[in-house]
Amino acid sequence: MSSISSTGGYILLASQVGGHPGVKTSEDGSILIKPALPVEVHFYQSVGSDPNLEPLRPFIPHFYGTLRLEGQVDPEQNVAGAIAVTKESAEAVNEAEKDIASEEKRARMEKTARETTSLETGIRLTGFQVYDLSKGVPINTPKSYGKSIKANDLPEGITRFFPLSNRSNPPVASEESADLSVAPHSEDTNVGTGLPADILLPILECLREDIAEIREALSQMHIRMVGGSLLVVYEADWDRAREGLKLLEDGDDEDEDEDEDEDEDDENVAKKPSPPYVVKLIDFAHTHFVPGKGPDEGVLLGVDTFLKLIDGRIEQVKALMNTKEST
């Protein structure tokens, strides 16, 4: 899969900030293509077909199927939910996967967990980027940042990822910006990143609700998820973000309109507002089903930590809003 070239309609994902290199996307950006182990493919198929996993479905990327090296759809595994995977075959896949991670790799992963925030808090910031509207480019914070910080530095990382703009109007591309080599982390930054409080606060509050739903769903799953991730994407453009928030307020369900969208032309689809943020569970290369053994407490710890970090950022934004109102 990693050998698919851009001539086949797929290009390297320019915005990749974590994981193994080589993730590709369709030219219109609507589909991601990544190398996957059999366990990950099996998990995506199970999400589409197993009613016990239904609570997770809204928060798992849609699985379209697999590709062969030559770039053709594999007719045996082309649609999630169309494959009936028996318990016996699932157990066989799980057992095969256990041999892939060598003792050396396991020891390396455990060492990384001890030396970073993973062991204590259940999470590590694996990399992120925020968009600089004044320069028209993303500012990247590499995974080395997440490996270098301690648990008490995590709130600063969340502030970096959800910067608050002190501007009254959105920045434009002609304005000067600060050094792009380091992501901003101060509330007084004048660079072109960040949303105003009236946009950032409702996005954080809605995001928090979704993550709480993910936490509830995971608490019902008898799985072990090593190296799983929460992917969070939010709109940097002020006008689009406001339109997206209005969409949420109106209670529009994007899935209900999916069939209608297929009949619309590209121009109308492009003009249609989209949600101001997306949160998904990803990275299932080391996810195993463990019937009867309960939820993954380590995963729940990580999600609980993230919820606390979001709560902290919400309180920061509210405090800054109150300070501005009182001056």
Residue 264 — pLDDT band, cuts 50, 70, 90?
A: low
Is position 266 within any domain? Answer: no
218 Cβ partners below 8 Å, 6+ apart? 56, 295, 296, 299, 300, 303
| Range 278-293 average pLDDT | 92
State how far the Cα of 294 lies from the Cα of 283, in Å rounded to an integer. Answer: 20
What pLDDT sits at residue 137?
87
Is position 30 within any domain? Answer: no
Best mean pLDDT range from 39-43, 126-130, 303-307? 303-307
Percent of the chain with pLDDT over 70: 72
Is position 52 within any domain? Answer: yes
pLDDT tens per residue across span 130-189:
989 888 888 889 889 989 999 999 999 999 999 999 888 888 775 444 443 344 444 544
What pLDDT sits at residue 23?
81
What pLDDT sits at residue 65?
86
pLDDT tens per residue across span 173-207:
754 444 433 444 445 444 688 999 999 999 999 99
What single letter denotes the amino acid at residue 270? A
Is position 257 within any domain? Answer: no
Neighbours of 180 (CB within 10 A): 16
**CATH number, domain with residue 240:** 3.30.470.160
State how far the Cα of 256 lies from the Cα of 52, in Å rounded to an integer. Answer: 23
Is position 125 within any domain? Answer: yes
Is position 185 within any domain? Answer: no
Task: Decide if pLDDT at 76 tops 60.
Answer: no
Is position 202 within any domain? Answer: yes
CA gyration radius, the chain? 21
Q: Give me the domain span that covers residue 122.
A: 37-62+81-90+97-169+190-250+271-326
The number of folded domains in the chain is 1
Task: Decide if pLDDT at 7 tops 70.
Answer: no
Mean of pLDDT over the chain? 78
Task: Decide if pLDDT at 74 tops 80.
Answer: no
Residue 293 — pLDDT band, cuts 50, 70, 90?
A: very high
What pLDDT sits at residue 2?
26
Residue 84 — pLDDT band, cuts 50, 70, 90?
A: very low
Residue 188 DSSP one-character state = T
What pLDDT sits at residue 200?
97
Residue with the larger pLDDT of the pair 271 and 285: 285
Task: Decide if pLDDT at 94 tops 90.
Answer: no
pLDDT tens per residue across span 30-58:
788 888 888 899 999 999 899 989 999 99
What pLDDT sits at residue 111?
78
What pLDDT sits at residue 270?
54
pLDDT tens per residue across span 229-263:
999 999 999 999 999 999 998 876 554 444 444 45
Residue 291 — pLDDT band, cuts 50, 70, 90?
A: very high
**What's the distance, CA 208 to chain centroid?**
14
- The pair of structure tokens assigned to 79 is 């649609």
| Sequential DSSP letters for 109-129 | HHHHHHHSSHHHHS-----EE
Is position 5 within any domain? Answer: no
